[in-house]
Structure 1
Amino acid sequence: MASKILMGDMPELMENILNNLKKDPNSLYSCSLVSRHWCKMSIPILWQNPFLFNQKPLYISEYFSSLDEDEIYILKEYGINLKISRKLFNYAKFLKDLNLSNLESKARVWTSLNLVEPISSKIHLDHLDALVNIVINLLLKLLFESGAVLHKLVLSFSELFEFKPEIFYSIGRNELFFSRLQNLSLSVIPEFNIENATAFLKVLAKNITTISSLELEIYSEYGPRSFHSLFHAIIQIIKSQDQLKWFNLVGEDHPTEFYGIISTLEYQKNSLQEVAIEGCAYSKEFEVLKDCKNLETLRIWNCSSKLLNLLDCKISTLDIVNCAIDVHTIPLILEKYGLLIQQLRFESKNSDDFDEALFFLEAFKSFCPNITYLYISSIEISIQLLELIGSLQKLQFLSLRCFFDDDIQEEELKVRVIQFAEILPLTLQYLDLGDTFLLCQPCLDIFLNYCNAPLKKLIIFRLDDEKDTRALIEFCIRNKSLNYVGVYRYSDLDENFRKEAEAHDANVVLVPSQRISVNC
């Protein structure tokens, strides 16, 4: 099979392999040097999002190799030492993801690197800002006219940057560029160039209907009335999409005013499947989400407790982080819809508020028996938590970021750990212990000695103790279904411990935790 891949006889498999290297430009570049076929496969992937990589943006010169003479002359007049070389590919055509902030940052670095004379004064800094603006507009014009088809666009407008009129002309002439845009992210910063941003968003509203994922960052205060036209443009974008499925709203300083943006989701009530709200105060606009009949996932992070009233809808994935618990509303809602919840993530707002956490656990134990994924953080490993875990007879994935009471006696601690190990349901396939046992060694070995859950994946914080290693080896021998053990502190893992653990069971591999972690 290896020879077939090298010869290019299995292009789909080859493409899948290379796509897994998207975030590793060095490996992708090495692949491009293997053969002509590998080069043709690797280069388009390497250039899908070049502005993401933390390297000197020398590649911008490759883009500029297709500039016409007038544009090259403009750069040289501003003091840019541009060297044009013959290119093998139309690199701009491969662009899939574009982050305007990253592009601006890389353009500034590239400009500084290619100036004939270095910047040395404020006057020269103003000159640099103007030149960077020219470079960005030239880049955008090239990208828009390259034949590229964008999939993801992240917009964060700088107050220094301004679109030139020819950019809007290029967009109008090259509708293909935005024709398959699926993901749009927009940060509405009060200090940025409002008119500039509004003009661009109006163009997007006229040219885009394919967005399935929209993320907005909203601030708490907006002064000038000119912002109203900006918000109107955002509203038009929401209205004009065929099927918006995912909506994420990030609030800075807990905004209370949303200018009709949330209410506009009424136009997407039949397609919206996931909503995430972060750092926002309550607003009546959010009530529109109750009409979203196909909403399956609701994420509420660091928000007003009133937003938990939005649970009055048929969702299967619930993600609550750093929110106060409404003791009067939650039981009524869960009693009505709790049977539908299959994935739950709960991070307590205040780890010291034992009563709040206890109330929440009791509510879910009573009304949510069908949970298959559970993530619990910042609460004590109490009898009530163990009872909840033990009651979930369909549980397959469990992640804990919990702690034991500081005042618990050693013998009682061991008993609690044994109870935890023995209460795990036999349906459990994935267990992420996080740093749960970090401060209570020697508990990991006790847990492993008493755990009989048929885990396929286990994640622990570290493995730097011979007793824990021995317990892990015995657990691997006893548990024939285990395939992976993830370690958060993998870089600190003793090589001898790793070899010893893997030597006793060829089916078990120790890996960095992020390789096997599962999120809801």
Structure 2
Amino acid sequence: MTCSKLFSGYLPELTDEIIQYFRNDYKTLHSCALVNRFWSRLSIPLLWEDPSDFRFIETYLRRLNEDDKNKLNNYWNKNNPYSNTLFNYPSFIKYLNTKKFIDSINSFINEEKFSNRIKNSDNIERIICDLIFKLFIENEVNLHTFELEVIIDDSLVSFELLLECLKFTCNMKNLESFYFQMAIMDYDEYYKIKEFLMEIIKSQQNLKNTSFENVSFNDFLSLENNMNLPISLFTSSNCLNTLNKIVFFDTDFRNVEFKAIESLNVLESIHILYCINLNSNFIQQIMSFTKPFKLKSLFMKTKIQIRLLESLLQKSCDYLENIGFELSMYKSGQLEPIINQCTKIRYFELRRINNQITFPTLNLIKSFGNSLNYLSIEFRRHSHVSSDDIRLSSNIFLKLGEILPPKLEYLSLSLMINARDFNTFLFKTRNIIIKKLLIENLMKEGDLIPYIKEHVMKEKRVKYLAIDESVTENDIKEFESYNIKFVNFDDFYIRAYEFVNEMY
């Protein structure tokens, strides 16, 4: 009886709650949409929240007004591509990443070109992009998450339309997440966009998360012509009692007035990813905070003076959960006593290994203990790789077998691996469970699959496996019989920014 009521719509709240549970399971949502009209009305909005699927583009084109359809007719060669749609699909959009959406338009156009449905390809990408963004504006799309990621000189979006998008966004009061990344080469464009950007932040009433990439927070133009903003804009906006996460990615902190951050009343996490100019002025401002400085992530792009780094970590060690740096930045023994006071590290990233510092730093992995869930080690050299590098990589691999925690969500290793060392490593870690194991062998030689079968597959220690060597269909089927799925290395490789966005 209850089941029949669910299907017929007599229990709408319960049915909606069930379908909401499948928000990111598009295959199941599509099946739900086919059950009946009631289930379709609940499922379709979830399916169309993110417009970055290139298969959505044609449906959006059907929603164009007559004047815009006529513009497109000069380029299109398809029978009745503009029939009416059952729903107003643009009204369902809640998440928009401009770069992903533009990429989906390109994919759609390539499909149409392959099918010989394009009559005139001159500037068609720009035309379709402008028309669809115009459609979104006309439909008063009410976004929850807006990721503005545009390089002006290389953008399919016209500058005029971009300004319209920004102006429209200023009128949206319910943005929860706002991400901004833009490289601007023209000063006139720069000032116009900056004005709208500041207005967007000031106008929001429910902004909880914000991220900035390639931004300078000072009163002067960046040397690289990236956007600069006064960080005090947060304190002069409605964000004081709503903003709980800020991500700074590849940001320039030169001359920043960072003390304004302390005015945010509900800020729970700050993430600094590969930023520059974390100098004495920046650190001293943090040290003067009377409130806790809740730095959750610190991934270093350039060296921070050791005394400044020590001060920063002392201020934030009770909150820091993710850290990454290049081993070549510091001398042996400098980092370990400082980082050792951070007892909640979940994600640890080591890059560009240095002979002198490797093993003391690796001991940090052991000291982090069971809190460590994500570990990434990359052995990279810009210059020629020597035999010493190969021996070092081998020793690292063997050392890891002795210090890894008993359980890891994610382990990514880009090392120069020989089969004997790999076999020893897998034997030493035979009791360790790793959900996602990514292996990149920089030596590009040797067959590692037999050892993985022996020590990993048969013990069912891994759920997802990525390895950069050729794998036969029979191997894939054999691993699948043990519930281990082969995946693409790049698809499963965790980047700091993506990790922070997903986890916080």
- Confirm or deny a common fold (TM above 0.5): yes
Do structure 1's residue 250 and structure 2's residue 228 form an aligned pair? no
Aligned residue number for residue 213 of structure 1? 177
> Secondary structure of 1:314's partner?
coil
How far off its partner does 1:359 sit?
Answer: 2.9
- Show the counterpart of 2:235: 266
What residue in structure 1 maps to residue 439 of structure 2? 461
Correspondence for 2:444: none
Q: Which residue of 2 aligns with 1:201?
A: 166
Q: Is the 8 A contact 1:370 1:394 kept in 2?
A: no
Give the alignment partner of residue 261 of structure 2, picking from 289, 293, 312. Answer: 289
Matched, 1:233 2:174: no
- Which residue in 1 is equivalent to 2:89? 91
Identify which of 357, 363, 366 aligns with 1:387: 363
* Cα distance in structure 1, aligned partners of 2:296 and 2:176: 19
Question: Quick one: structure 1 residues 496 and 362, their matched pair in 2 at CA, closer, same or farther if it must change by over 3 Å?
Answer: farther
Structure 1 residue 319: deviation in Å?
2.9
Whole-angstrom distance in 2 between the partners of 1:233 and 1:457: 44
1:360 to 327, 335, 341: 335
Specify the code of the residue in structure 1 equivalent to 2:419. Answer: Q
Written as runs of structure 1 = structure 2, the 5 A alignment for 1:147-158 is none
The match for 2:25 is 20
Change (3 A) 1:82 1:308: farther
Would the aligned equivalents of 2:336 and 2:364 in 1 still touch at CA under 8 Å? yes
Contact 2:259 2:286 (C-alpha < 8 Å) held by counterparts? no
Contact 2:343 2:368 in 1 (8 A): yes
Conserved? CA contact 2:97–2:146, under 8 Å: no
Q: Does residue 301 of structure 2 align to residue 303 of structure 1?
A: no
Amino acid at match of 1:424: L
CA deviation profile, 1:219-238 (whole Å, cap 9, x unmatched):
476433x7434422222221
Which residue of 400, 405, 408 maps to 1:420?
Answer: 400
- What residue number does 1:329 align with? 308
| Alignment counterpart, residue 435 of structure 1, candidates 402, 414, 431 | 414
Contact 2:301-2:325 at 8 Å conserved across structures: yes
The answer (yes or no) to whether the contact 1:254–1:281 under 8 Å persists in 2 is: no
Sequence identity (%) = 17
Tell me, in whole angstroms, the C-alpha distance in 1 between the residues paired with 2:391 and 2:68. 77
Change (3 A) 1:5 1:461: farther
Task: Say if 2:394 and 2:418, in contact at 8 Å, map to a contact too.
Answer: no
Alpha-carbon distance between aligned partners in 1 of 2:437 and 2:286, rounded to the nearest angstrom: 31
For the aligned residue pairs, the C-alpha RMSD in angstroms reads 4.9
Q: How far did residue 87 of structure 1 move?
A: 3.8
Measured after TM superposition, the shift of residue 408 of structure 1 is: 5.1
Compute the displacement of 1:298 (Å): 1.6
Aligned match of 1:165: none
CA contact (8 A) 1:256 1:280 kept: no
Q: Could you tell me whether the CA contact under 8 Å between 2:351 and 2:378 is conserved in 1?
A: yes
Displacement of 1:488 in angstroms is 1.8
The residue type paired with residue 469 of structure 1 is K
Deviations 1:112-152 (A, max 9, x none): 979999449xxxx5xx67x975x666645654555xxxxxx
Instruction: Structure 2 unaligned segments of length 5 or more: list them.
Output: 10-14, 216-221, 441-446
When residues 408 and 200 of structure 1 are mapped into structure 2, their CA distance, relative to the original with a 3 A threshold, is closer
Work out the CA distance in 2 between the residues paired with 1:195 and 1:97. 22
2:350 corresponds, among 369, 376, 400, to 376
Rg larger for: 1
| Structure 1 counterpart of 2:12 | none
User: 292-301 vs 324-333, which deviates more?
Assistant: 292-301
Q: Secondary structure at the match of 2:247?
A: strand
Partner of 2:293: 314
Runs of 5+ unmatched residues, structure 1: 147-173
Q: Distance in 1 between matches of 2:33 and 2:133?
A: 26
Task: Please give the secondary structure, in 2, of the residue aligned with 1:368.
Answer: coil
- Assess if the C-alpha contact under 8 Å between 1:486 and 1:516 holds in 2: no
* SS of the residue 2:261 aligns to: helix
- CA deviations over 1:193-247 (Å, ceiling 9, x no partner): 6666445534432x222223222234476433x7434422222221222243333
Which TM-score applies when normalising by structure 2? 0.70
**Alignment check: 8 A CA contact 1:458 1:486 kept:** yes
Counterpart of 1:211 in 2: which secondary structure?
A: coil
Give the whole-Å Cα distance in 2 for the aligned partners of 1:446 and 1:335: 38
Aligned to 1:171: none
Q: Which residue of 2 aligns with 1:163?
A: none
**Cα distance per residue 1:86-111 (max 9 Å; x no partner):** 5443434433344566469849949x
Could you say which residue in structure 2 is the equivalent of 1:451?
429
Deviation at 1:346, TM superposition (A): 0.7
Spell out, residue by residue over 1:283-312, the C-alpha distance to the aligned partner (whole angstroms, 9 max, x if none). Answer: 324453355462513223152342873764
Residues 190-199 or 241-250, more deviating: 190-199
Aligned 8 A contact 1:417 1:443 in 2? yes
Contact 1:186/1:216 (<8 A) preserved: yes
Aligned length: 454
1:329-378 alpha-carbon deviations (Å, 9 max, x no partner):
1112223332332x123132xx6x3635753344212x213323323333
Partner residue, 1:170? none
Q: Report how far residue 446 of structure 1 moved.
A: 1.0
CA distance in 2, matches of 1:419, 1:490: 22
Distance 1:308 1:44 in 2: 45
Q: Secondary structure at the match of 1:359?
A: coil
Query: How many Å separate the matches in 1 of 2:475 and 2:323?
Result: 33
Rounded to whole Å, the distance in 2 between the matches of 1:185 and 1:468 is 42
Distance 2:102 2:473 in 1: 41
Aligned pair in 2 of structure 1 residues 233, 322: CA closer, same or farther (>3 Å)?
Answer: same
Taking the aligned partners of 2:394 and 2:134, their CA distance within structure 1 comes to: 66
